[in-house]
Amino acid sequence: QVRLVESGGGLVQAGGSLRLSCAASASILSINRIGWYRQAPGKQRALVADITRGGDSSYGDSVKGRFTISRDNAKNTVYLQMNSLKPEDTAVYYCYAYTQFGSWGQGTQVTVSS
């Protein structure tokens, strides 16, 4: 199993940028896929982006062209670079490891002000 810890959340103005980190307790090369999800108040948790062990990435429609997911295998960390942030991006952001049982981090709050 793997433990995930998110960091990098905070308050940012609309149009600004923020980078989130997801640090894993195990080698991310042993995990087939890691994703970023978010959940805003009153809304369902939704996929933001994910990245495979081979480096292939995918994005939710609402963040395409603005967010970039990346990986640093040496640091066992997956990043989410968020640019051109909008107030509707405000949510708790979680990372998730697609392992046998699945592993969620505790989440990090991102708040985008107008």
DSSP states along the chain = ---EEEE--EEEETT--EEEEEEESS-GGG-SEEEEEEE-TTS--EEEEEEETTS-EEE-GGGTTTEEEEEEGGGTEEEEEE-S--GGG-EEEEEEE-SSS-EE---EEEEEE-
Q: Do residues 108 and 92 lie in contact, with contact meaning Cβ atoms separated by under 8 Å?
A: yes
Q: Grade residue 1 by pLDDT with cuts at 50, 70 and 90.
A: confident
At residue 46, the pLDDT reads 97
Query: Taking residues 12-20, what's their average pLDDT?
Result: 98
Contact present, 53 and 32 (Cβ < 8 Å): yes
Average pLDDT of the chain to the nearest whole number: 97
Nearest to 16 by CA among 85, 69, 63, 64: 85
Average pLDDT over residues 65-94: 98
